Structure 1
Amino acid sequence: MKQDIGAHFGARTQSHAKNNSFSPTTDSTTTVRIESTGGSWPDLTLDQLPTAIDGWRTTRSRVHAETGVADHAVIDALAQHGFVLDPVALAQRTEPAAPVILTRDFSTTATACEWLPRIPPHGIDADGIVLTHPHPDDLDVLLACEQDPGARLHAVAEPLDREALVGLLGSAYFQWRAGPASFLIARASPAGPPLAKLSVRRVVPPGVLDVGYVTVPAHRGKGVSTRAVRGFTRWAFTAASIQRIELGVKPANRLSAAVAERSAYHCESVRKGRLSNLDGSYSDELSYVALRHEWAHDCDRNSGGDGRSAQQPQRQ
């Protein structure tokens, strides 16, 4: 099997040198397409990946692995085998149907490079609601949320249009497993419509995240974002190697600050002139923080000991 796979990869390497912008620049670099099952032009299927990796350890210095954005099983397997996001290759692929590209350098020792672990199949429990990955049919609700005047009031960037949201939805799982930023959707049930969007971003140094949130207008005033932030924070501190989560709020956005406070985040500092406004000016940022070693205690103190918010529902 190893010899057959190696010969096939060698042929693929040479053909890509002529036809693919991600073709190898040396004989020891190769590009392969991986699919869960045989597709239109896969180099190998998911069950062949471990055998292929054994061969690559001695025959290749670098492998670019391509797969579809919806092939979550392959994305998971590549992350677990030490493949990481290739930002150069990804930046050059601009077409909507572009494949995911993950890379592994076989000249160095690699370990699992998962940014965040897989969430449970039913989603993350968040005090009566659940956080799941986005679905394609969330598009219209998220688009309306982007354009909502209430959401725009304290925004730091222009709203995303339909095309940009389609791309964001399509890449959300890939970005969750390997990228710098992704998002989850708060729902009443795993298949329910969106109630809120929770953005998650990796921050330097390792083990630090930044979160943001926006509630769907029809569900404001019900404590949705508070439950989403609390549920995610609890999960991140128990299921992932996260030790600090940051949350930035403009001083004028008191409703959003209330979400942070009711989620047991504390205001650590004020960062002057850090957040942009849509008119070109800048606002200060209230920097809220949750720390792994103290958040559960703070959360229980805020909730009366049962881990759930004892505060009145808010509007954000």
Structure 2
Amino acid sequence: MTIRYGGPGVRIAGDGLVLREWERGDLAAMSELFDDPEVAYWTPLRAPFDLAAAEAYYDAAHTDNGRLHLAITTDGEKPLGEVMVNQKTSSLGYAVGPAHRGQGLAVRALALLTGYAHEVLELPRLILEIEPDNQASISVAKRTGYTLTDLPPTKLMDKGRDLVLLTWEHLAPTR
């Protein structure tokens, strides 16, 4: 994993991926990636995810809110999805655009961001919150080394839907 600081922001490269901060020129790509029924169903992202939603999301991602949103790319340019970490809650999330699924992008990107969060952000325990019937996301969590905790499920409502979220964790390696 290589990490670059300064310049245009955080850039993490490894395993055939380059994770980089979103740029204003990515708004149309964001809309294309996130305006998808699967993304709308499994994530808190707004639906429909049009250009106005992309601009609002971009603006929120570039505030000092303790979150780091990174575009998943293979070339440092074209976004294929996103991984994010909330430093206040040590929670991570990810979404891959429909045309780019099935390539292991989420697993590789989550692994890179997990390493970064442990090593650079010094977060000892990272979490994912996943619905029990989201098999694709559970597979990503397992393949990335996250394990299901015995914490009680988190129950909430989002977009008029009752959610039950199970907590998965990844602990920093001991030194």
Q: One fold, TM greater than 0.5?
A: yes
Q: Gaps spanning 5+ residues in structure 1: where?
A: 1-116, 297-316
Note if contact 1:270-1:284 (Cα within 8 Å) is conserved in structure 2: no
State the alpha-carbon separation in 1 of the partners of residues 66 and 75 from structure 2: 27
Shift of residue 196, structure 1, vs aligned partner:
1.3
SS class of match (2:107): helix
* Dislocated runs of 4+, deviation >6 Å: none
Match of 2:42 in 1: 154
Whether 2:102 is the aligned partner of 1:221: answer yes
RMSD: 2.6
Structure 1 residue 292 displacement after superposition: 1.1
Report which stretch shifted further, 139-148 or 154-163.
Answer: 154-163
Separation of aligned partners in 2, 1:197 and 1:290: 19
Give the TM-score normalised by structure 2: 0.83
Partners of 1:199 and 1:211 within 8 A in 2:
yes
Match runs of 1:172-251 below 5 Å: 172-173=61-62, 175=63, 178-190=64-76, 192-204=77-89, 209-251=90-132
Q: Which amino acid aligns with 2:15?
A: D
Could you tell me which runs of 5 or more consecutive residues in structure 2 were left unpaired when the two chains were aligned: none
Q: Counterpart of 1:32?
A: none
The counterpart of 1:269, out of the listed 150, 154, 168, is: 150
Structure with higher helix content: 1
User: Which TM-score applies when normalising by structure 1?
Assistant: 0.48
Rounded to whole Å, the distance in 2 between the matches of 1:157 and 1:193 is 20
Alpha-carbon offset, residue 120 of structure 1 = 6.8
**Between structures 1 and 2, the one with greater strand share:** 2
Q: Give the direction of change, closer, same or farther, for the CA distance of 1:165–1:182 in structure 2 (3 Å limit).
A: farther
Q: How big is the shift at 1:126?
A: 3.4
- Given that 1:251 and 1:286 are in contact with CA atoms closer than 8 Å, whether structure 2 keeps it comes out as yes
Q: One-letter code of the match for 1:250? A: E
Secondary structure in 2 matching 1:284: strand
- Counterparts in 2 of 1:182 and 1:236: CA distance versus 1, 3 Å: closer
Give the Cα–Cα distance (whole angstroms) in 2 for the partners of residues 221 and 118 of structure 1.
28
Mapped contact 1:157–1:277 kept (Cα < 8 A): no
State the alpha-carbon separation in 2 of the partners of residues 157 and 165 from structure 1: 10
Paired residues of 1:270 and 1:285 also in contact (CA < 8 A): no
**Larger RCO: 1 or 2 (CA < 8 Å, sep 6+):** 2
Q: Distance in 1 between matches of 2:158 and 2:139?
A: 20
Equivalences, count: 170
Alignment of 1:6-25 (within 5 A): none
User: 2:125–2:171: 8 Å Cα contact kept in structure 1?
Assistant: yes
Tell me, in whole angstroms, the C-alpha distance in 1 between the residues paired with 2:148 and 2:46: 27
Greater gyration radius: 1
Secondary structure (helix, strand or coil) at the match of 1:286 reads strand
Mapped partners of 1:126, 1:248: distance in 2? 25
Report the CA distance shift for 1:120/1:188 in structure 2 as closer, same or farther (over 3 A): farther
Match status 1:140 vs 2:28: yes
One-letter amino acid matched to 2:123: I
Q: Do the aligned residues in 1 keep the contact of 2:21 with 2:71 (CA within 8 Å)?
A: yes
Identity of aligned residues (%): 25
CA distance in 1, matches of 2:6, 2:72: 14
The aligned counterpart of 1:111 is: none
Alpha-carbon distance in 2 for matches of 1:231, 1:215: 15
